[in-house]
Amino acid sequence: MTAAVFPGRTLTAAAPRKRKRKRNIPLIAGLTLFGLIVLAAVCAPLLTHWDPIQQDLLHARLAPGAPDHLLGTDELGRDIFSRLLYGARIDLRVGVLAVVSPFIIGTTLGLIAGWFGGWLDTVIMRVVDVVVAFPFLVLVLALVFALGAGTGSIYVAITVVGWVAYCRIVRGEVLVAKEQEYALAARSSGLPTWRILFRHLLPNVVLQAIVYSMSDIVLTILAIVTLGYLGLGVPPPTPDWGSMIEDGQQFLLTQWYLATLPGLAVVLTGLALALVADGLVEHFGRR
């Protein structure tokens, strides 16, 4: 009878159906762009034959489009294109690595604070408050200054300051999630706490932290660039976008491209990661 009314359909529940995937344009665009940037950084020696630190004072400050120098040369005659590519290697590596440890530390502490509450929560969140009370860059600058310039101190400084954002995000999400019935169900089934935390809660609360980490990479690259600009970053002559902007700014009126091109590289990277973040929200939001 039923079959006659609804041919081809049974009244049992629908089997897991294949989701019709709409193209997630931000994610695809963001990943493509970011992939291209990473690829360019990795393949730097194949894309240019110029050594990024080799000076050539006779051919200094050539405009973009000069023969053999695609994007021109800087005030010491170093090839800008090559410096951008090799600079990406440093900046991307530091940017990504400097986000990993704050992410792990902040997420773990946020889970703990949100789940256990009580004095643990109070202690962790007061420490967070103290760190948040200082502006991000000021604290990073002070720490790098105290520890001495270099990538090592950049990692440490950004970890010390950066974990608080993840901690806050994850703690908030845990506070909501732990009153959800699936968390209660997990507790009522007597599973060990660490398993409930990492197997049940973490996958449900980590999305916001991942999305934030995308913009955090941009923020970190900006911080590195700023540090480089202030002479506290990657020590010269290693190419990095920050020191390139710093070197170029004195020629802003005559050779604007010296500072603008590395700035553009920062913007492009930021755009790519922002698109990825948007795309991730859309991707997981749809589930």
Partner 1 sequence: MSTLLEVHDLNVEIPVPHGNLHAVRGVSLRVDAGEAIGIVGESGSGKSITLRALLGLLPQPAKVTGGSILLDGVDVTGLPDRRRQKVLTQAMSMVFQDSLTALNPVMRVGEQIAEVPRRRLGMSRSQAHARAVELMNQVGIPDPERRYRAYPHELSGGMRQRICIAIALSTEPRLILADEPTTALDVTIQAQVLDVIDRLRREQQLGLVLVSHDLAVVSQTCSQVYVMYAGRVVEAGPVRALLERSRHPYTYALLRSVPDPDTVVRRLLTIPGQPPDLTATPDGCSFAPRCPFVAESCHHQDPPLVLLADGDGQRAACLRSDTALHWPEWSDRAILEQLDAEQAAAAALLTEQGNAEVRS
In sequence order, what DSSP letters do the residues of 48-96 get, joined into one string?
A: --S-TT---GGGTTPPTTBTTBTT-B-TT--BHHHHHHHHHHHHHHHHH
From the list 1, 2, 12, 22, which residue makes contact with partner 1 (rule: CB under 8 A)? 12
- Least distance to partner 1 from the beta carbon of 46, Å? 41
Report how many residues bind partner 1 under the rule CB under 8 A. 26
- Least distance to partner 1 from the beta carbon of 192, Å? 8
Cβ contact 99:213 at 8 Å: yes
Which residue type does 177 have? A
From the list 46, 203, 254, 285, which residue makes contact with partner 1 (rule: CB under 8 A)? 203
Cβ contact 275:30 at 8 Å: yes
- Least distance to partner 1 from the beta carbon of 118, Å? 10
From the list 2, 17, 65, 285, which residue makes contact with partner 1 (rule: CB under 8 A)? 17
Cα distance between residue 84 and residue 91, in whole Å: 10
Q: Considering beta carbons, is residue 17 or 49 the nearer one to partner 1?
A: 17
Main-chain dihedrals φ then ψ at residue 59, nearest 5 degrees:
-115, 45
Hey, how many other C-beta atoms are within 10 angstroms of the C-beta on 227? 26
- Least distance to partner 1 from the beta carbon of 221, Å? 30
From the list 25, 39, 51, 195, which residue makes contact with partner 1 (rule: CB under 8 A)? 195
User: Does position 15 bind partner 1 by CB under 8 A?
Assistant: yes
Hey, how many other C-beta atoms are within 10 angstroms of the C-beta on 126? 9
Q: Which tokens sit at 89?
A: 């290697």
From the list 33, 77, 116, 117, which residue makes contact with partner 1 (rule: CB under 8 A)? 117
Residues 170 to 189 in contact with partner 1, rule: CB under 8 A: 179-182, 184-189
- Least distance to partner 1 from the beta carbon of 100, Å? 22
From the list 42, 76, 191, 230, which residue makes contact with partner 1 (rule: CB under 8 A)? 191
- Least distance to partner 1 from the beta carbon of 179, Å? 6
- Buried b / exposed e over 190-223, threshold 16 CB at 10 Å, is eeeeeebbeebbbeebbbebbbbbbbbbbbbbbb
From the list 16, 65, 67, 285, which residue makes contact with partner 1 (rule: CB under 8 A)? 16
What residues does 86 pair with on adjacent strands? none
Residues 125 to 164 in contact with partner 1, rule: CB under 8 A: none
Residues that bind partner 1 (CB under 8 A): 12-17, 117, 179-182, 184-192, 195, 199-200, 203-204, 287
